[in-house]
A and B are shown apart, each in its own frame.
Chain A
Amino acid sequence: MTRYVMVADLRRCIGCQTCTAACKQANATPPGVQWRRVLDMEVGEYPDVRRVFVPTGCQHCADPPCEWVCPTTATRRRADGIVQIVYDLCIGCSACAVACPYEARYKVEKREFAFGDEPTADEELRADDSLIGVATKCTFCADIVDAGVARGLAPGKDPEATPACVNLCISGALAFGDIDDPQSAVSELLRNNKHFRMHEGLGTNPGFYYLWDREPS
């Protein structure tokens, strides 16, 4: 079996938002929509306060609440663990948006542009009306992953089969791969480091891991 997951090393993330920009470039998301975003968190109480950058987005849960509540079956989990939305089925009811504990879903009602009322040349070229009025979210760049796998490439290892945010992360904080493959980079990272997942108590079994310390050798 294959289950694609993402690993974010909180020790390495510097909050530069390059992953956010890479995602927006790769997926042509409109203003205000950030499928990959980085939280700038303050943790602790004065005087012991720390600043932590936490990349987040769709956690591609193994037991996704967004899939249970979707009345149209538009949200579905693939065999490789990627949770996807069939835009032609979605009615934009937002039940998935309120079901997601990770605030990962977006819906835009009309085309919006980054600079004023007119689209840029790139926005005009990449406009996709099928994304208006429906739920959207991080896809783990499934089209890139699928195309890469079809060419025999390894997601997480070969850039042409790896999500854009991972490819462009300047500090190497993000990693992607198959957690069921013990030889994959993500499996090795999880073996060698202490890690947690966001809101684990909700039982969603997210596919997004956060590294925070090394395992004692």
Chain B
Amino acid sequence: MIMTQRGSGAPWLQRSWDSRAACNFIGGGSGAGLLVAATAAKFAGWPYFPAGMLAIALICFGLSMVWLEIGRPFRAVNVFFHPQTSWMSREAILALPLLGFAGAAVIIDQNVVTLPAQISLPATPFALTSAVLALAFLCSQARILRASQGVPAWREPSLQTVIVVTGIVEGLGLLLVLGLFIVMPPAWIIPAAIVALVVRAAAWEHYRHRVTLTAPEPAVAALNRASVVIHLLGHLVAAALLIGSLMLPTSVVPAAVAGLSLFATGAWLKFVVVTRAAFTQGFSIPHVPVRGRVSTALPATYE
């Protein structure tokens, strides 16, 4: 029997990773999701440039926040040294070609650089490659949390699905928001967003159920509190707005508001998981020491 304990050694909220680390998951995840969504929309003729630029900015924002958090920022290049087992190394290694291909796709799509007439470079292969790398980047982020054995709410395997799906949902949401300022996104984006938010809701509920079995009570309480906002604004309200926009196809406002809600609740979800549910496991002992059983036990006649 594992005996729980109080006093020193009880679970506590880790302080090693704070809101800066959360920003990496928020910026990197939503940026990667947006690259995937933008590439899909590009096939429908949607302009890649604005979404690609925003995605690159978000990913760079996330990585720069990590850079601000590390204790020795001028040694940051060492982060590439251990791709054999470290998902943080893999994330960093993926970021370079990801940003490169996305940047190239943006440049070619917008004709920022005039190429010689004999060179014809379509943007689509670059965008497609960056989307694949973005998915790998997103999975790496999920595995970084999974590998954090000291935090039960992070090492829960079902969190990986939540992180990946949330990134996709955020990307779709941002694309819907951009639709307000550019042109209406392709028609399939709204049904895709509805499906994605349903998957996120299911993944989130599954994760919360699993965490209840393993994580300390304060972590579960933090997730439960966040869940109210996530379900209400991120799922119910967003779904209603998206369904409404299906019925009112001439207006982009409901879809854009739904997109904002999808992005904001995704960011909030990750912020809560990283900063508020990050209680350590604490310590427990399966046996208490047996003292004085033979040599120092009181005589039976001594009452």
Interface of A toward B, CB cutoff 8 Å: 9-11, 39-44, 50, 52, 54, 56, 65, 67-74, 89-95, 97-103, 105, 107, 109, 132-134, 194, 196, 198-199, 202, 204, 210-214
CA distance A54 to B9 in the complex (A): 9
Closest residue on chain A to residue B12 by CB atoms: A103
Query: In angstroms, how far is the closest chain A Cβ from the Cβ of B7?
Result: 5
Given contacts A43-B285, A71-B92, A97-B14, contact A133 B71 (CB under 8 A): yes
Known: A90-B72, A196-B287, A212-B289. A69 touches B154 (CB 8 A): no
Q: Are B81's CB and A134's CB within 8 A? A: no
Q: Which residues of B lie under 8 Å from residue A194 when comparing CB positions? A: 287
Pair A71/B79 contact, Cβ less than 8 Å: yes
Q: Which residues of A contact B118 (CB under 8 A)?
A: none
**CB-CB < 8 A to B73: which residues of A?**
91
Q: List residues of chain A with CB within 8 A of the CB of B111.
A: none
B71 touches A134 (CB 8 A): yes
> Do A91 and B5 contact each other (CB < 8 Å), given the known contacts A69-B88, A98-B151?
no
Is A72 a contact of B70 with CB atoms below 8 Å?
no
Chain B contact patch, size range: 35 or more
A199 near B281 (CB under 8 angstroms)?
yes
Residue among B72, B80, B81, B151 having the largest count of chain A Cβ atoms under 10 Å? B72
A204 to B150, CA, bound (A): 11
User: CB within 8 A of A72: which of B79, B147, B290?
Assistant: B79
CA distance A93 to B72 in the complex (A): 8
Of the candidates A92, A198, A213, the one whose C-beta lies within 8 Å of that of B285 is A198
- Contact yes or no, B285 A210, CB < 8 A: yes
Q: How far is the CB of B249 from chain A (nearest CB, A)?
A: 46
Q: What are the residues of chain A within 8 A of B291 when measuring CB–CB?
A: 11
- CB of B66 within 8 A of chain A? yes
Give B residues with C-beta under 8 Å from A: 3, 5-9, 14, 16-17, 66, 69-73, 75-76, 78-82, 85-89, 92, 144, 147-151, 154, 278, 280-281, 283-291
A212 partner, pick from B5, B278, B284, B287, beta carbons under 8 A: B287
Q: Report B15 CB to chain A, min CB distance, Å.
A: 9
Residue in B6, B72, B147 whose beta carbon sits within 8 Å of that of A92 in the complex = B72
Q: Is A40 a contact of B7 with CB atoms below 8 Å?
A: yes
Instruction: Find chain A residues with CB under 8 A from B89 CB.
Output: 71
CB-based contact B70/A91 at 8 Å: yes
Cα distance, A124 to B6, chains bound together (Å): 38
If A97-B150, A98-B17, A98-B154 touch, whether A41 touches B8 (CB-CB below 8 Å) is yes
Task: List residues of chain A with CB within 8 A of the CB of B154.
Answer: 98
Which residues of chain B come closer than 8 Å to A44, judged between CB atoms?
3, 288
Give the shortest distance, in Å, between B118 (CB) and chain A (any CB).
43
Complex formed: what's the CA distance from A182 to B284 in Å? 29
Contacts A65-B149, A71-B79, A95-B148 given; does A42 touch B5 at CB 8 Å:
yes
